[in-house]
A and B are shown apart, each in its own frame.
Chain A
Amino acid sequence: MLAIEVQKLRKVFQTKQKAAGLKGSLRALARPDIKSVEAVRDISFEMQNGELLGLIGPNGAGKSTTIKMLTGILHPTDGNALVLGKVPWKQRRDLAYKIGSVFGQRPQLWYHLPAIDTFLLFGKIYELDDAVTKNRIGFLSEAFEITHLLETPVRKLSLGQRMRCEVAASLLHKPELVLLDEPSIGLDVVAKQRIRDTIKQMNAHEGVGVVLTSHDAGDIEALCQRVIIINHGKIIYQDKISNLKRHYLTSKQVDVRFAEELTAPPTLPGTDVIKVGRYGMKLKFDTQNIPVAQVIATLAEAGNLVDVTISDPSLEEVIRTIYEEADKL
């Protein structure tokens, strides 16, 4: 069963334009200039139940607009979508019982109250039995390690603690699908890792599907199996992450260390030198131009190899390249 089915989704906004300065303001009063902005051009994709899907794209790419349409908050100009078998903008309330959401920029926990009060309120919002609510709270607070934080007013929690509570809140009613929009924004590395781990756990044990939107490629890399890249309102790439890295870019980076000092660094045609140090160097090369074996062999001849690391480009670099290529088209 498909959790999400989207076909040719399109959204055009009409916004009033105002020129700068006093004249512009007066002109806008008399004759408003209305501009159409196509935020989402033509988006089609599918998501399986229980999948971990990443949605990545720069600001203004159309991610938030797409998410809003999938939750039924916004009606599209064109196209179809089914989320958990329902048309979001037609069956918004029914769908709301089955999905959860966390918007990094818009908290749902009541700021002045302890998190548990919001959880209890959510129990009433989603019409859960009191006993069910209590059980869920117990279960989730253990999983997210927030049991000791439940009675503290949210305003006193650190951002990382708050986000763990936010994500827990979004799972209170056992949704089948959760939409996370920038959940780790502003968090430090450790806090990010904790959130990622718990989300992965939830997905594994409860089978809840996750749609994660982010600018942070690290989030996507850590959590998602598949990724959709959006730019200028269109999907410019969608595939499994592993395929993305393997097929799209064939460049590799080699980091090599020698036992002796490098007096005459070896030159290899078809490779770019990134950095040269006293005992080692970093090279970049395209496996289509020169195979890995040849690079290693040439380096081994140049001296006593102490350490060799061959790495793939980071997802960040891959995505940047994809943006650039798409823009050129």
Chain B
Amino acid sequence: MRREVIFLLSLWKANLLAAMEYRAAFISQVLGMMLNNAVYFVFWMIFFDRFKEVRGWGLTDMLLLFGVVAAGFGIGVALFGNVLGLAEVIARGGLDYYLSLPRPVLLHTLASRSVASGFGDFVYGVLSFVAAGQFSADTVTRFILGTLLAATVFISFLILVNSLAFWIGNANMIAQQATNAIITFSLYPITLFDGTAKLLLLTLIPAAFVGAIPAELVRGFSWQSFGQLFAAAIFFFSLAVFVFHRGLRRYESGSAIQVQL
């Protein structure tokens, strides 16, 4: 375990060095992403300008929601950036490289890339949390916890979706749609949804565990939200690792994709 941590740290260091080679591009991506998120928030500003509050959610709650989602997403893709293009890596036979090295394939593959804009998301998330005005040692702790758990669910979901590439070859579009879907939906308050929709956001596209529930946790601690979030993180993570390794077995048997001889 310790060896993997050392390895991860050196991998992240290499990514950071590589990003620093292009300082201007790095900064522009970070700022660009912050702007991008702000624009998304504008929707809610327009919405709540007209509707004031819906089913107990108002603009402040949206700030917290955005905070946790952006920070979670940001830290996730900053540290495990290859998760976004994993389907492509699989389809192109890119796993061969990681398979030939003595480190856990999933970990190595995911951490071999850093998405610079993720840092922008992270900073935005923190700023959004601060702007909600509920700053205290307590809320900060819950924010960190919520962010980390949200990131875990998010990354796990992406691993699952991208792993489809092992079975269907070209999963790039599906992966991309699913990625956009979970990001989009995580940015909606759960109280807006009834019945089936709520179920959907808790299972197939676990956006509720990336946004609404972590945000709830930051609003006010409850064993229920914490328990749900923690369980979801464990569940999706285990499932993701399992499915990926199943797919890897298929990949190694050569029947995964249309192989170029």
Contacts and interface: CB of A to CB of B under 8 A. Distances in A.
B254 A11 contact: yes
Interface in B1-26: 3, 6-7, 10-11, 14, 17-18, 21-22
Contacts of B18: 110, 112-113
Nearest to B7: A124
A13 B199 CA distance: 41
Nearest to A96: B102
Contacts of A274: none
Nearest to A124: B10
Interface residues of A, number: 39
Contacts, number: 71
B252 interface: yes
Given A112-B18, A124-B7, A96 B100 contact: yes
Contact of B261 (A14, A65, A73, A117): A65
B222 interface: no
Nearest to A18: B258
A contact patch SS: mixed
Contacts of A71: 99-100
Contact of B96 (A37, A68, A112): A68
B69 to A, nearest CB: 30
A108 B97 contact: yes
Contact of B252 (A75, A106, A120, A125): A75
Nearest to A106: B97
Nearest to A118: B14
B181 interface: no
Interface string A47-85: 000000000000010101100100111110000000000
Contact of A121 (B10, B21, B254): B10
Contacts of A94: 102
Interface centre among B7, B14, B261 (most CB of A within 10 A): B261
Contacts of A117: 14, 17
Contact of A73 (B7, B10, B100, B103): B100
A61 B106 CA distance: 31
A27 interface: no
A97 B259 CA distance: 27
A125 B102 contact: yes
B124 to A, nearest CB: 26
A73 B249 CA distance: 10
A92 to B, nearest CB: 7
Contacts of B259: 13, 15
A289 to B, nearest CB: 41
B14 A127 contact: no
A16 B258 contact: yes
A124 B6 contact: yes
A113 B14 contact: yes
A46 to B, nearest CB: 22
Interface of A: 11, 13-16, 37, 39, 60, 62, 64-65, 68, 71-75, 89, 92-94, 96-97, 99, 101, 106, 108, 110, 112-113, 117-118, 120-121, 124-127, 153
9 contacts: A73-B100, A108-B97, A110-B14, A110-B18, A112-B21, A112-B22, A113-B14, A113-B17, A127-B3
